[in-house]
Structure formats: C-alpha cells, structure tokens
A and B are shown apart, each in its own frame.
Chain A
Amino acid sequence: MRPQTLDRVVAGDLTADITGVACMALATFDGLKAAAAAGRNLVIVLEDTWWSDNDDLQRLEGNSTYKAKRAFIREHNLVVARFGDHIADMKPNPVAMGMAQQLGWENYATDKNNPVHFVIPSTNLLALTQSLGRTLGSRTLRAVGDPRLPVSKVGVIWGNANQLPSIRLLNTDIDTLLVGYTHEWEAVMYCQDQVAVGMKKSLISLGQAAGEQAGVKYFAGWLKTIIDEVPVDYIPLAEPYWNLNQPTNLISTKI
C-alpha cells in the first residue's frame, strides 16, 4: 500500500454482498448504469467519481446531479472503489500492458515488461493520429506538430501527463509523445515551441478514457485470475465529446 493515496472506497457500503465486479476508467453515471444493468455492484475505477481529484464533497451537498448519482448508487447497492494509484504500482503496470496490447504494439516495446517506449514501423504523424483514433475509439483526439513528420519512436504517458515528466520525455529520443491529457499552457506549448525551433517533435492528446481504458480491460483480466466467485467485467466508456467533424452525442440521457 502507498503511504499516501487517493485510492479508497468512494461510495457505497463495504459490507454489501458483491454480485459482480465492473472495472472502468471513470465512474461516470453512464458507466454506473451499465454496471447495474449487468448486475455487477462493485465498481473499480482508476480516477475520481465526483468531478475533482479529491472528490471534494462539501461543495456538492445541494447539487442535483450529485444527489441523483448518489441515490442511484444506493438504490442499486453499488460500491465504488478508486484504485488507480495501486494499479499504477502493479508490476507489470496493467495500464501500460493493456494499452500496448490494444495498439498491437507489444513487440515494438523497448522493455516488454514496462511498455512505455516503442519503436514502431516508420509512419508519419497524420497516419499515426488517424490509426490511434480508430484503434482507441477517440473521435476528438488532437495532435501538435507537422502532420508529415516521420514517426517511429513513441513515448507515452497514459492518463494525465504532468508538466515536468512530459518535458523530460520530449527531450529524449522520441518523435512523438502520446498523452491522455496535458495542460495547453504546459507540455502542449512546450512541444509547439520545440517544433518552432526546428526540433522534430510532436504530441498527441487522446482524451482521458481513450488514453487509458484499454489498461482497465487488462486489469479486469488479471482480476479474473484471483476472483472466481463472482463475474468480473470490463466496461468501456463512450467518448463524451463530439466535434464539428462528427456532431453526434454518445451519452445516454435515460435514467
């Protein structure tokens, strides 16, 4: 166990009888509905549930969506547990393993037990971006850099990419950095500036769920090997965003 962690039971009764386990990237209301419909009442997530890193509940007391989501959790006897920090500490890291698997990049990893640096067959930034969009189901992924840039060496920070680790990685041999999310005024700007001084660099921002949820699938697979008594499922989340290239909503509005 980590001495300091955000991992905990976020909602629900720990003594509840578990009918099944649903693993997903974030405990979205949509995701909870899917878990309940499948009869899985333990929900294991990488990230937060209440729309901030630390699930700051005090300021949400009167919020109608908070109340509706809470009521749904109670009514369906759900237990929501955040487990992202400890999943990240597992060896090998399920998120890294699962994302590499989903991309079909296991054999391109420099270190197969920690696949976070890849040498993929030569392509260019545009082709890579298109292929990632298809493989990861991200309709609104965004890239920084020259679309014609030759790309072969790829570094990744799945999920949230902080400023310094991103900058340090962009200064290694990689041609492109894949992230789930990173601030526009930090690593995005840094990469843009690298390009502006003639460095052959690029960055692709995938979106949080697309940029880590294949890792949740891998984790669910591992969990099945230690839990026989109840079913364990991976629940993929729909992308919340659309853009003007594909203006369709994928979020269920039925309660």
Chain B
Amino acid sequence: MREKQASDLSRRSILTAGVAGAGLVAAGTPALGATLTAGEILERMKQNVGGPWRDGGVDHFTVGGPETVVRGISTVMMCTFDALKDSLKVGCNMVISHEPTYWSHPDRLDDIRDDPLYKIKLDYVTRNNMVVWHFHDHWHALRPIDGIHVGEAAQLGWTQYMHKDNPRFYTLPPMTLLDMARQIQSALDARTMRIVGDPAMIVSKMYASYGNFGGITGAAILDGPDCDVMVIGEAQDWDLPMYVQDTMSAGNKKAFIMIGHDKSEQWGMKYCAEWLGTFIKEIPCKFVPIIEPYWNPEKPVMEINTKI
C-alpha cells in the first residue's frame, strides 16, 4: 500500500512539477481556478524538511491520497474527531497530524476494521473529502531543529535558553519547581500536568523530551550533571516517573514534570502551520488546537463537541 502510494506520488510530481512551479512564482496571489493536490503539498514538504525523506516509519496518508484537491491545510497534534470537525469549520480539508488517526502509533487497522467508531470516522472523512497526513517522524527530523522542539520552546518563551549544541537542554534563570510548573501550565495551557519532586527545589537545568519518553534513556540523562529537571509529555508510571521517585529517595535533587502528551507537542504543530505557510501560498495553512482529553476532579470541564 505504502509503495503504491509512493509510486503514484512520484509519477504525479513529475507530471505536475511545472504547475507547482508556476504556483510558487505567483505566491500570494493565487490564480483563480488553480488547484493544489495533497501530493503536491507533500512534495513541497519533502523539499523543505532539510534532511532526507525516508521510507518506513509512521508517516503516511491515513485518510485519502495524493490526488485529493486541497482547499486549506490544518495542522493538529492528534487527528481526533474534534480535530477533523474543527478543521472543516475553518475550511481545511487536508489535516496534517503529528499523532495517529486510528488510535495506535502506526494507525494499525488489522483489528479494528469492524470497529463501530472506525466506520463512523472513515465515513466522516470520506463524506467530507478529507485527506490526513500522519506527520510524525519527518517533523521530528526537521533540520536544523526538531519542529516540535522549535514550537514548544517558542510557546514557552524559552527559545533563548536552548543549548545551541543540543536543543533538548535548556539553561533557565533559576526558579522553584512550583514556579516552573505554573509557568509551563500557563504557557502551554496544560490543565492536568503531573509533577514529581520538591515544589521548593530550585531548578535551572532543564532537559525536554516532548511526547512519550522511556525510562532507561531518561535515567541516564537524569543521572548526569546537566539536568536537574526533566520535562516530558507522557510516560508509564512504573517507568521514568518511578526512576525519578527513586533517585529522590537516593538523596538526589531531581525533578520531573509530565505535561500530558497533547499539550507537550501541540505547539510544535502551531510552528508546523507557520513552516508550511513559507512554501504554500495558494491556500491557507492553519493551526487548529485540539482539546486536552483529561480534566482533574478539582476543575471539571466539557469541551468535546458531541455533535457530528
């Protein structure tokens, strides 16, 4: 399937290279009646990620294909049903989603083809002539810096504190862990963050791994001198969070903030819309924020739109 799409795509890009070039020349003043397909958009993305475009991985069309004519592009953190509805609302029928559409990292379909929700979602996207590109691996591989890291740092207002040689490390003005947690919560709009550590501890050396992060790799970084606080999206409780707990019990002054997966990466997709806008001028490229799935009992909210 993937191979077939790839070969369709390369054929199409040869056939339409001239058209796409003409579109670029006329940047900002799209010609009436000019059309842009998902395949042409993808081709421009490939040319702009700054590194090699690799086969394999999870990046692929989860819905639709390269031939779909695109009216507008939305960038979202995860292709939730809400994200689909909100994309259509702002006139976008191509969704570029960092995370899956079908509830597993590779959008595995084998076991869910008869799933009632799968059928409803598939029907909705097909009926609305939508196309969804899962844009995970290559957005993380953006050069010179991982697109998610660029966007999250900008949203935090901490870009100037990023280390030049490794943008996952930051040296921040010293502050308490509690203060840092408050700043992150407010900058990223993350309402269900969870924190491990002494709230009064002074932190400054931050290591960020937005999204999911595993125990053993994290343990090595936390054990080093360059990290007193680790900020991540999501981890299993018995994995990295347990390590942080244990390293505290061993007398080490370390702290840990789990933002939640969505809000830890979604601002990287805000940057993705800006990035797309630098080479796609014919149609709008819009960042569509998604709904944080969770709430805590202290602050219950209902944001999910239940109308289909």
Contacts and interface: CB of A to CB of B under 8 A. Distances in A.
Given A51-B246, A143-B294, A251-B248, A193 B195 contact: no
B305 A28 contact: no
B294 A28 contact: no
A30 B103 CA distance: 35
Interface stretch (B32-40, B212-220, B273-281): B212-220
Contact of A28 (B198, B245, B251, B297): B245
Given A52-B216, A192-B291, A208 B236 contact: yes
A180 B293 CA distance: 16
B296 A240 contact: no
A253 B295 contact: no
Contact of A208 (B80, B182, B199, B237): B237
A65 B193 contact: no
Interface in B199-225: 199, 212, 214-216, 219-220, 223
Given A133-B297, A142-B295, A196 B216 contact: no
A64 interface: yes
A76 interface: no
Interface in B105-141: 105, 111-112, 115-117, 120-121
B264 to A, nearest CB: 10
Interface in A209-255: 209, 240-245, 247-249, 251-255
Contacts of B242: 26, 28, 51, 240
B189 interface: no
Contacts of B196: 240-242, 249, 251
Given A28-B246, A28-B249, A185-B105, A249 B238 contact: no
B304 A65 contact: no
Contacts of A64: 223, 247, 250, 252
A56 B214 CA distance: 12
B301 interface: yes
A158 interface: no
A243 B193 contact: yes
A160 to B, nearest CB: 7
Contacts of B237: 180-181, 207-209, 240
Contact of B243 (A65, A185, A187): A65
A76 to B, nearest CB: 14
A92 interface: no
Nearest to B253: A253
A112 interface: no
B192 A196 contact: no
A176 to B, nearest CB: 14
A192 B111 contact: no
A147 B199 contact: no
Determine which residue in A30, A144, A145, A189 has the highest number of CB atoms from chain B within 10 A of its CB, and name it: A189
Nearest to A57: B216
A241 B112 CA distance: 34
B262 interface: yes
A7 interface: no
Determine which residue in B220, B252, B294 has the highest number of CB atoms from chain A within 10 A of its CB, and name it: B294
Contacts of B220: 59, 63
Contacts of B159: none
B293 A144 contact: yes
Contacts of B215: 51-52
B250 A196 contact: no
A65 B247 contact: yes
10 contacts: A28-B246, A51-B215, A56-B216, A65-B223, A163-B104, A167-B103, A180-B237, A198-B306, A243-B192, A245-B299
Interface of B: 78, 80-82, 85, 99-100, 103-105, 111-112, 115-117, 120-121, 178, 181-182, 185, 192-199, 212, 214-216, 219-220, 223, 233-234, 236-252, 258, 260-262, 291, 293-302, 304-308
